[in-house]
Structure 1
Amino acid sequence: MKRRILFYTTLWLSSFSGIQEGVAQLTFASIHRRKEGTPTQETNTSLIVLLKKLELTYKTSFVYQKELLENKTFSGAVNENDKLEQVLDRVLTPAKLRFQKLKGGGYTILPRKIGKNSSAETEPLKASGTQPLEPEADKELAINSLTARVDMQAFSTAKPADIVVKGRVTDNDKGDPIPGASIVLKGANKGTNTDANGQYSISVPNANAVLVFSFVGFEKQEVTVGNRTQVNITLKNDLKELNEVVVVGFGTQKKINATGAISTIGTKELIQSPVANISNSLVGRLPGLFATQSGGEPGNDGSKIRIRGVGTFSGSTDPLTLVDGIQVDNYNNIDPNEIESVTILKDASSTAVYGIRGANGVLIITTKRGKVGPPKVSYTFNQGFNSFTDLRQMMNSGDYATHFNDALKADTYVNGTTYTPRYTDQDIELYRNGQDPIFHPNVNWFDVMFKKVSKQSQHNVNISGGQNKVRYFVSAGYFSQEGLFKDTKDVVDAFSPQSLFQRYNLRSNFNFDVTSRLRMTLDLSSQTEVRSGNNGSSTERVVGDIARASPLSTPGVVDGKVVNILTGSQNNPYASLLYPNLAGGLKRSYRNYLNGNFRMDYDLGFLTNGLSVHGNVAMQTYNDQQIVNTKTLITYLAVKLPDGSVNYVPSTTEAQFGFSQSGNYNRRITAEAGVDYKQSFGVHNVTGLLLYNQQKTFDPALAFLVPKGYQSFVGRATYDYNGRYLAEVNVGYNGTENFAPGKRFGLFPAYSLGWVASQEPFFPKSGFVTFLKVRGSYGEVGNDNIGGTRFLYRETSYSSVPNMYYFGNVGSTYSGFTGIREGATGNPNVTWERAVKQNIGLELWFLKDKIKFTGDVFSEKRSDILATPQTISSITGLSQPASNLGRMENKGYEGDITYIDKVGGLGYRISANFSFARNKVTFRDEVPNQFAYQNRTGQRLGQNFGLIAEGLFNSWEEVNNTSRPVYAYSNNKIQPGDIKYVDYNGDGIVNNFDAVPIGFSNLPEKTFGASIGLNYKGFDLSVLFQGVGNVSHYYTRFQRGTGYGQAPPEGSPSYMNESWTQERYDAGLPIRFPRFSVNANPNGEGSSYWLADASYVRIKNAEIGYRLSEGLLKRLHIGACRIYVNANNLFTWKSMYPGIDPENTSTGDTNTEPYPLVRTINTGVNLSF
């Protein structure tokens, strides 16, 4: 009895000292000593202690529930030379236990299945054929265990046995298993994935271990293991990720499974920009989107959109635009509050289904729809104020008169004449002191014709909601924007050509779940635009006249009269704005767009799961009514009387108001029918689409009154293996009657692959990169909008030509007779442009999905571009028909990155995107130039050409240097102040053969955007930067040569005071421009002197807002309220001269100038109930 007390006391002390493992080792050592020496005798050993010893001896691990082994012992000898599984079988079988080997190494101890009547009680067990230990053995074991405490201290830190945790991962919608879900042991680089049935197994070190469950499209979950060995998890849909579907041709896809190059922007970003149209809202926000705003006139201020640059030099470069799957010609008239998202499709994989309309990319607008829930009413109001971003400061009359005399004086050398000034010193003094404003006016026409600020406003109210059977979204909006011309009603009563734009929007989108299988949608929308402005002359012509008007040409308006004077120029911008011979009166136009789209979807799941059919019919109508009122503008001539008074003599007579009315209309019908299939077979997921689409446009203005139609047959098949390996095939077979029979249809296939490497078992589960996808595509698309007339395969209409034939005697009497001549020969082989596109993309998520990056590299080779042959001699006597001769290539790369995080109560989002696209004309059938560097083939489209300038001649010594080349301009009469050109070809003559490619193209190769968003305790701030690079423009307005009539150019800006004069040069003052000249001269030649870097960076949009607190909202019975202030085109960094915006430098016509861009400061409120 004493020996037993000593034994248990020793075990208790050992446990208290933390050396139970040491005791187990000594126990097993004692057994083996007996085996080696005397015959082994039987003893009782705790199974827990024994298994820990076996872990160390066999260098393995055991996983078990502690309760399963408590109070169980083993009585018998263990031979260390036996295999481990033999030992386990011998040790566990008597205790009604069993073992199972784990895939990752180690063993788990499980209860053995027992019979119905078997006893579950646990008794001390004996191995058959063994004898009880002698009492002395107990004593020896206890003493050896206690004395070996220090020697076995190392065993107290041995790694404890892992616990094997198993379970199943399912989704919370249908309870379906989630194959490929990730299970990671938090804080360790250890993890696994679920199998095809959603099952998993993982070993963890202890009950405190935390498992992290995740799968793309679902919310992460962290679970502490505790005492469980079975952990089943239901993952909730991460609505933000799962619902981030991208719109593709004729359908949608989850973004994580898409293999095409696709970019999307949501409604939140769109409504931040206080602009009238969507195209301006997109600028700087999407990679691959190139946009240029050519003017700021109300109703005509939209941006020119190009996707991945330009791939043709003849056809249209506009992308195909769709609204809810239906093609539209004008998408800028949609209220931004109606839009859910805007998506651009960029590569062949995403656009091939559109075939002959997909080469320039596709822009898809998706409008909002109702969701199940109570009615939600939202109201948005904002009031804005517009002003020009940058207007030129003009030269005053005194400086203008002085420089005009300088020009006359400088030209005496070229003309061989004697200098006679036009303006006397007295004239110049009167221009400067303003004492004679009628006959010596000093007018800044930008100040006279434009006001500082105009107003714009916007209202929108929408309601959405619904039940399971019916859901709705209804919206009504109004937008109004005034122009910046000053009111002229004081000149002509009730007659003002002020630019004014108003738009009224209505939309209703309904979803009906008629039965469990039948669903229907009905979408109706209307946009009505009212535009007012001058008629006969374009706004660009009016602005051009304002810019060209010299400050001393006329006093403008005096006492309500439009006054001209006898001296100086007669260019009065008021006459341009109002005079009927130029302006043609006031025009008011009413445009109405009415759209309807009805769609039905039917689930054929009773035939096979995942099968459905759909059909829809859409109709669009457009009506335009124009009303023009005219009235003769009375102008007056100022005549100074002998007594010094002024008499205003009418130059024109007054007439009654004139009235005219005109209009046009068209309509388009689209019909579509398709079969959709979507199914999963374990880890294999497939989708399919077969579709027929037909479109017909009826327009009286179409050639021969023949409706314009398209037919399309579309096929798509996608496959993904466990969300890991992705494959997609898209095919479009499309046709149009614009081409000759047999040439109307074409096949456009595209193929794409994707690999989600982060779903691979070997991918680090807790590494720096959390998501990695590589994708690539190759395919063909087309462009049927190739330029030229519509039916190029037909000869143009015949025309009668008088005196085409002569009959009679030569030299005496003969008569001419009318003949018939063919306008141009048709070409039956004309077809669409064909583009072969390749794309490789990479998608990366970092730092627990805080950073997301997407990058693409792309290339396009376009052939069959329409061009007129230039290498066929004109001796044939025929006008050569256009042919598909041209070729171009376009290559580039793009990327965007977003970082979202939160520090304390401050949330922030930083994003940036960048795009680069460089094109090259590879063939255009041009006549080879004498010098190859002047060929357009091999150059960028829009490449600027010109002479290379090396500064100015500053002295007669430089001019008379015998080594300088001869100038083919102005009979080589060069003088100080003229531009010095490079003789590029070295023939000793500067002429047009020395013109070379200079600068960049007039189309930007680079575009970028960067934004930052902050939110803190109800406040939010966002700023968007946008810019372009690698683009050059000529200073056409300042390039002095032929076409201006006098120099300095009429309406010269004030910085042209820094033009070259001998006095200015001698004084060391800054010189920006060459000398002034009245005559055409070499300084007006196109050269690098006049070519400007049109790159810029602009604060495109900035907004600050505040959301009212919930407590205050409850007292006001308002669901949400946000007030905000935002601005558009806030500030621009550029290298071009002041007063010139890099986006709208020129219209290409010296008589016109773009309406300047505007800056908008806007304040508003969003309410929801």
Structure 2
Amino acid sequence: MVVKGTTLGTATDAEGKFTLPVAGDDAVLVYSFIGFEAVERRVGSGATVEPVRLKEKSTDLNDVVVVGYGTQRRQDLTGAVASISAEQVAEVPIARAEQILQGRVSGVQVTQTNSEPGGGVSIRIRGTNSINSGNEPLFVIDGFPGAGDLNSINPSDIESIEVLKDASATAIYGSRGANGVVIVTTKKGKAGRNVIDFEAYTGLNTVRKPYELLNAREFATYLNEVQTLNNQENPTQVRALPYTQEQIADLGKGTDWQDEIFRAARMGNYQLGFSGGNEETRYNLSFNYFDQEGIIINSGFKRGSVRLNLDRKVSDKINFNFTSQLSRTQQQRANVNTDGGSSGGTVLDALRFNPAVPVRDANGNFTLDNQPQPYVEIGGNPVAYAESVRNEQNVLRGLLNAAGTYEIARGLKLRISGGIDLFNSQENRFIPSTVFVGQNTNGFAFKGSATNYSWLNENTLTFDRKLNENNALNVVAGLTFQEFVNERYNASVSNLFTNALGNDNLGIGGNVLTPGSGRNSNTLASYFGRINYRLFEKYLVTFTMRADGSSRFGDNNKFGYFPSAAVAYRVIDENFMKSLPVFSDLKLRASYGITGNQEIGSYQSLARYGLNPYTGGTTRLVGLTASNIPNPDLTWESTASSDFGIDIGILKNRVLLTADYYYKKTSDLLLQVSIPQTSGFSNILLNSGSVQNKGFELGLNTVNVEGARFGWKTNLNFSLNRNKVLDLNGERERFVGQSSGSVFPGAAGNTGILRVGQPIGAFYGYQFLGIWQTPQEIAESGITDRVRPGDPRYADLNGNNRIDGGDRIIVGQAQPDFIYGVTNNFTFGPLGLSLFIQGVEGSSVLNLNRYELESGFVAPNKVKAVLDRWTGPGTSNTIPKANSVLRRNTGITSDVVEDGSFVRLKTATISYTIPVPAGMNKTVKAASIYVTGQNLITITDYTGYDPEVNSFGNSNLSLNTDYNAFPSSRTFIAGVRIGF
């Protein structure tokens, strides 16, 4: 609080007490705190004043927002910046911090690409900019840029997350700002308060939606039908039926392989924090342990972390800040991959394994492989695979950053910081000789290690002063240096003489495979500046410039320059707005700037050589082979973007609306361009091509009902982005995307197309028209392909009476039409209810699993839908006959590119604030319990495990592909929070 009209002020202690000398009985004290409405009280003649309770504001426009290399008042922002507070992070128990952005920030699409514990997350801020380079945003943790993802960060340590979206906000990060910036600030201690916080929760995860597959009797009947049809169509190759009718009658339901690999998986989280201090020294110390089992047996994720943040006021002019974290994560992967074949992995083999085969034989040993051969898909026992195979990653990470600030003169500060981010990863893989996939090698053991570290030095000079009543100036200038180093090695053996040691002693291998090692590094030297000018508290101007020099790029383009400018007009401060009391805020914003993307590997501009080992007699020799054509002109991708926004507050900010329209054009794409084979190479990396993104985003926050007995707040966000390829180095189109050799034996593996005028993520294939019903129908069509009644029918678009590559069209788009999220928070006295709904509309998903689960060929198990398969004219126009292999041998078809739209009750939380008895309020400050459900209800037409999927991770060109993916789970959590 301060004495009104003076600079005399103080702060309360932990019990709310304070001492402040004032002159006269008419002095007025102004009580204030961020997030609360200020209260004025006259002192009077007494020595004490009455207690004052502050009322929480719905939103405080004077809140401080973290931006690049500084902070700003929210009302002074000229760029598009969104914020997530510590309270919002605490609302939802999450495994990794990126998940809190999902559905809560407009313009940001967060996709759980891998649902296994510790699995990957993809973030796209205002669309996809790049084809061959990275599209993930830059993460900045406590001022340390380039700190990777947030998997090792304890979400409970987070004070706030800011998302910088337009060029005005991101240009300060130059060549790393094109994909947006996510700034994470961790908690610090507060003066006058010594606090102990404890939180614990436990939960259970279950598979949300398993496939409905054929049971043993149904599948045996299906196999017999496949062989019967094959015998009829190939009378010279007649084979006995796999099952007799007596065997089928005795089978029953058999083994539910999904049920065998899935489990109800527990999870737990334990958080203990200490914070406090005085005006000179503040501290925050936290300990966290998180443990989550995967819903597939023998999978899971563990994380332990310690964080210490210190702030020390050395003198009136010198401050010292220190942030640090040490964490260790352990991930046991569920052995899922997209290679298919006999090593398909746990999920794929559970889907395709014969339910008539038991998990264990009569002796109690795991059954080895799928039977009966050769009638079924070859593969190993998925339970044996899950329980016996080790696929583990252990990561030790230390992130430390120290900074000193010296106030040279009033408003002028020098800040010097240095830090290091150390990341050590250990890979352990072991396949025993006793499982099917390990028999060919008689066992396999692997160890690998990778050490990544980045050191950083930043030097900034900040001038921040209100020059007079009408003018305020904030200027930042800086010089930074950062180096990234990666070192790695691996060793592996096969032909193990024992399985007892796993991969703990590679000396057990009779066959030593070629080891590998490597080292690469890159450096970034930068200088930057930003000017924020405020006139009459209503005219705001921002100018930013950054120059980046990167070792990744060619000798002719080592430095790039990234300017931006933005203006804002606070209309609310005009006199004529006083006649419109309904408005409490109104601001118009506009910005334009250029940012860059340098996310390619090191040494891409240089001449590189690869190893070419060979044998000379009995001696192993190693030669060198040129790997690429050097390009001294190689430089970063450049994104020019403009943004027009409006911020509106109504009814004392009980209704807050933010809307933005943006346009981005990324030029000089880092593109692999085909060149004549006579050069000795097939392609070269050039800066060529361009991509466009434009869109609209809306954020709405409302306080619907405000009261002690009942309260209701709503947060809504809506995002629409339109992506388009503008240029591909003069090419019209390119075939892209990955599939699997198991799905398309002998067929082209490309699943998508890059085409000028179309968005990235277009699926490219044949248009499904139904099922051929009769020989007459086939004859009348004029089709010359060898098709039979019961086979899938595809559109002959080029009219040549056969189905070939010229008949392919775009059959779906991975990128959605729009995304949205709605959060409603209700309070009923001490009770709280939070409901979060997430939605995606207009997105397509390529369901490659359906090729396995609906077509004939050498049969894997099938989904229940094949019970309604074609068995004669008029029986089915969607599912082909039992022995049809046409769909699988053709390639991508429109019937397996499904609508991936969904509406999901993502999170529901019920909490209860426990009243603290009067005798304990000096010890226990607050206590609450809560119950949370996640992924409770999903409304979708998608037939797979979950529409939010990508088996190929963060691939730019294989989006929304579902093949052998780890299924999503439904989660129930109960927890408690106590503050001392």
TM-score by structure 1 length? Answer: 0.70
Q: Helix, strand or coil: the match of 1:366? A: strand
Superimposed CA distance per residue, residues 512-567 of structure 1 (whole angstroms, 9 cap, x where no aligned partner): 11111111111221111133457898997222222222223555454531124873
Deviation at 1:664, TM superposition (A): 3.3
Equivalent residue in structure 1 for 2:464, among 670, 678, 683 = 678
Q: Which residue in 2 is equivalent to 1:1021? A: 833
Aligned mates of 1:660, 1:976 — CA distance in 2: 50
Residue 252 and residue 540 in structure 1: after superposition, are their counterparts in 2 closer, same or farther (change >3 A)? Answer: farther
Q: Which residue of 2 aligns with 1:504?
A: 304
**Structure-to-structure mapping, 1:106-117, within 5 angstroms:** none
Instruction: Identify the residue that residue 958 of structure 1 maps to in structure 2.
Output: 777
Seen in structure 2, the aligned counterparts of structure 1 residues 526 and 220 have a Cα distance that, compared at 3 Å, is closer
Pick the aligned partner of 1:467 from 272, 278, 282: 278
Counterpart among 1146, 1150, 1154 of residue 965 in structure 2: 1154
Change in Cα spacing, 1:511 to 1:242, as seen in structure 2 (3 Å) is farther
Q: Is the 8 A contact 1:713 1:732 kept in 2?
A: yes
**CA distance 1:978–1:571, shift in 2 (3 Å):** closer
Partner residue, 2:121:
303
Does structure 1 residue 1120 correspond to structure 2 residue 926?
yes
Mapping for residues 718-737 of structure 1, pairs under 5 Å: 718-737=532-551
What displacement does 1:501 show? 2.0
Following superposition, the deviation at residue 1085 of structure 1 comes to 3.7
Q: 5 Å matches for 1:266-345?
A: 266-300=85-119, 302-327=120-145, 328-345=147-164
Structure 1 distance, partners of 2:277, 2:368, is 67
Whether contact under 8 Å (1:886, 1:925) holds in the other structure is: yes
**Aligned position for 2:762:** 943
Q: In structure 2, what is the equivalent of residue 834 of structure 1?
A: 638
Tell me how far apart the structure 2 counterparts of residues 820 and 685 of structure 1 sit (CA, whole Å).
62
On the 8 A contact 2:273/2:285 being kept in 1, the answer is: yes
1:882 counterpart = 2:682: no
Deviation of 1:770 (Å): 2.4
Structure 2 SS opposite 1:259: coil
CA deviation after TM superposition for structure 1 residue 391, in Å: 1.0
Q: Determine the C-alpha separation between the residues in 1 that align with 2:307 and 2:172.
A: 28
Between the aligned partners of 1:353 and 1:379, the Cα distance in structure 2 is: 38
Structure 2 vs 1, CA of residues 796 and 1045 (structure 1 numbering), >3 Å: closer, same or farther? farther
Quick one: structure 1 residues 425 and 541, their matched pair in 2 at CA, closer, same or farther if it must change by over 3 Å? closer
Matches within 5 A, 1:546-557: 546-553=350-357, 555-557=359-361
User: What whole-Å deviation, never above 9, does each CA across 1:961-984 have from its counterpart, x for those lacking one?
Assistant: 2xx2425xxxx2333333332232
| Residue in structure 2 matched with residue 688 of structure 1 by the alignment | 475
* Aligned residue pairs, count: 882
Specify the code of the residue in structure 2 equivalent to 1:769: F
Q: CA deviation at 1:948?
A: 2.1
Of residues 393-402 and 528-537 in structure 1, the stretch that sits farther from structure 2 once superposed is: 528-537
Q: 1:620-641 CA deviation, whole Å, 9 max, x = no partner? A: 22223455666542789xxxxx
Aligned amino acid, residue 780 of structure 1: I
Q: How far apart are residue 1029 of structure 1 and its match?
A: 1.7
Describe the shift of the 1:652–1:1026 C-alpha distance in structure 2 as closer, same or farther (beyond 3 A): closer
Structure possessing the higher relative contact order (Cα contacts under 8 Å, 6 or more residues apart): 2
Q: Is residue 2:910 matched to residue 1:1097?
A: no
Rounded Cα–Cα distance in structure 1 between residues aligned with 2:961 and 2:469:
68
Distance 1:325 1:827 in 2: 34
Q: Is the CA contact (8 Å cut-off) linking 1:983 and 1:994 kept in structure 2?
A: yes
User: Are 1:1038 and 2:868 matched, yes or no?
Assistant: no
- Separation in structure 1 between the aligned mates of residue 461 and residue 361 of structure 2, nearest angstrom: 69
- Give 2:914's aligned amino acid: L
Q: Could you say what secondary structure the match of 1:373 adopts?
A: coil
1:1100 Cα shift? Answer: 1.0
Report the AA paired with residue 1051 of structure 1.
N
Residue in structure 2 matched with residue 780 of structure 1 by the alignment: 594
- Do 1:541 and 1:1151's aligned partners in 2 also have CA atoms closer than 8 Å? no
Distance of 1:469 and 1:324 partners within structure 2: 21
- 1:58-91 deviation digits (Å, cap 9, x = unpaired): xxxxxxxxxxxxxxxxxxxxxxxxxxxxxxxxxx
Instruction: Note the 1:1041-1052 alignment, pairs <5 A.
Output: 1045-1047=857-859, 1050-1052=860-862
SS of the equivalent of 2:405 reads strand
| Contact 1:272-1:1101 within 8 A present in 2 as well | no
Counterpart amino acid of residue 666 in structure 1: N
Of 749, 757, 760, the residue aligned with 2:574 is 760
Q: Provide closer, same or farther for how the CA distance between residues 664 and 261 of structure 1 changes in structure 2, counting only shifts above 3 A.
A: same
CA displacement, residues 818-860 of structure 1 (integer Å, 9 cap, x when unaligned): 9975332111111110110111111111223211100111111
User: Does structure 1 conserve the Cα–Cα contact (< 8 Å) formed by 2:267 and 2:291?
Assistant: yes
Report the residue type matching 1:174 in the other structure. Answer: T
Alignment-derived partner of residue 129 in structure 1: none
* Structure 1 unaligned regions, length at least 5: 1-168, 177-213, 224-235, 435-441, 487-497, 637-650, 805-816
Instruction: Please state if 1:740 is matched with 2:554.
Output: yes
Q: Is the 8 A contact 1:906 1:1016 kept in 2?
A: yes
C-alpha distance 574-540 of structure 1, shift in aligned 2 (>3 A): closer
**CA shift in 2, pair 1:574/1:518, >3 Å:** same
CA contact (8 A) 1:500 1:533 kept: yes
Which of 1093, 1096, 1108 is the aligned partner of 2:914?
A: 1108
SS at the partner of 2:199?
A: strand
Q: Secondary structure at 1:1039's aligned position in 2?
A: helix
SS in 1 for 2:100: helix
Q: Does 1:598 align with 2:384?
A: no
User: Counterpart amino acid of 1:696?
Assistant: E
Instruction: Show the counterpart of 2:495.
Output: none
Any conservation in 2 of the 1:1046–1:1078 contact (CA below 8 Å)? no
- Kindly state the Cα deviation for residue 343 of structure 1 after the two structures are TM-superposed: 1.0
1:1062 maps to amino acid? G
- Give a deviation string over 1:489-515, Cα, whole Å, max 9, x none: xxxxxxxxx123221111111111111
> Shift of the alpha carbon at 1:959?
2.1
State yes or no: 1:715 paired with 2:519.
Answer: no
CA RMSD of aligned residues (A): 3.8
CA distance in 1, matches of 2:770, 2:808: 16
**TM-superposed deviation, 1:738:** 1.1
SS at match of 2:220: helix
What is the match of residue 7 of structure 2? 174
* Conservation of the 8 A alpha-carbon contact between 2:334 and 2:346: no
Question: Which residue of structure 1 lines up, in the alignment, with residue 867 of structure 2?
Answer: 1057
Aligned residue in 2 for 1:669: 455
CA distance in 2 between partners of 1:1055 and 1:171 (Å)? 75
Aligned residue number for residue 317 of structure 2: 517
CA distance in 2, matches of 1:925, 1:274: 46
Correspondence for 1:77: none
Structure 2: distance between partners of 1:654 and 1:877 = 36
The letter of the residue matching 1:698 is: V
2:208 pairs with one of 364, 389, 402: 389
User: How far apart are the structure 2 equivalents of 1:564 and 1:1074?
Assistant: 31
Alignment partners' CA distance in 2, 1:572 and 1:1083: 18
User: What are the residue-to-residue correspondences of 1:628-1027 with 2, within 5 Å?
Assistant: 631-633=432-434, 662-680=448-466, 681-701=468-488, 705-786=519-600, 789-797=601-609, 821-870=625-674, 872-902=675-705, 904=707, 905-925=709-729, 928=732, 936-961=755-780, 964-967=781-784, 972-1000=785-813, 1002-1027=814-839
Same amino acid, percent of matched pairs: 26
Q: Which residue of 2 aligns with 1:109?
A: none
In structure 2, distance between residues paired with 1:928 and 1:477: 53
| Distance in 2 separating the partners of 1:928 and 1:1071 | 36
Q: Specify the alignment match of 1:255 in structure 2.
A: 74
Correspondence list, 1:580-599, <5 A: 585-599=389-403
Q: Which is strand-richer, 1 or 2?
A: 2
Match of 2:326 in 1: 526
Q: Structure 2 stretches of 5 or more lacking a match?
A: 10-31, 42-53, 490-516, 736-751, 953-957
**Alpha-carbon separation, structure 2, partners of 1:954 and 1:449:** 39
C-alpha distance 695-1075 of structure 1, shift in aligned 2 (>3 A): same
Point out the structure with max Rg over C-alpha: 1
Q: Give the secondary-structure state (helix, strand or coil) at the position aligned to 1:957.
A: helix
Q: Please say if residues 779 and 836 of structure 1, whose CA atoms lie closer than 8 Å, have aligned partners that are also in contact.
A: yes
Distance 1:559 1:688, change over 3 A: same
